[in-house]
Amino acid sequence: MSTGTATVRVELFGVPQLLTGRRQVEVPGRTLREVAGALAREFPALAGSVVDPATGWINGGYLFVVDGRFTRDPSCPVGPESSVLLVSAQAGGAS
């Protein structure tokens, strides 16, 4: 029985990819809020412009795509098998 937090693979597009210099990263998290906070901690270049450091949540110009569905729900569950993308809200979908 594992008590640790699962690692989630997150694909980055646009500004997040440019700021980190990476197309894909792995961070711990069981919800999108945990993933967003981990992104800001592990990739400080994302703090401020992509993730609000005060709230630990993505700024209004961004959203996640989880298993093909656009979402800004911080309580959305994710796991190692989830397909998670971080994209600009202008890339498609409504917030």
Q: Supply the pTM of this predicted model.
A: 0.88
Element (H, E) at 5: none
Identity of the amino acid at 93 = G
Architecture of domain 7-91: Roll (3.10)
Sequential pLDDT tens for the chain (95 residues): 344 678 999 999 999 999 999 999 999 999 999 999 999 999 999 999 999 999 999 999 999 999 999 999 999 999 999 999 999 987 544 44
pLDDT given for residue 77 in this prediction: 97
- Beta bridge partners of residue 69, listed in sequence order: 66
pLDDT given for residue 89 in this prediction: 82
Element (H, E) at 19: helix 15-20
Residue 5 phi/psi, 5-degree rounding, is: -85, 140
Q: Where are the domains of the chain?
A: 7-91
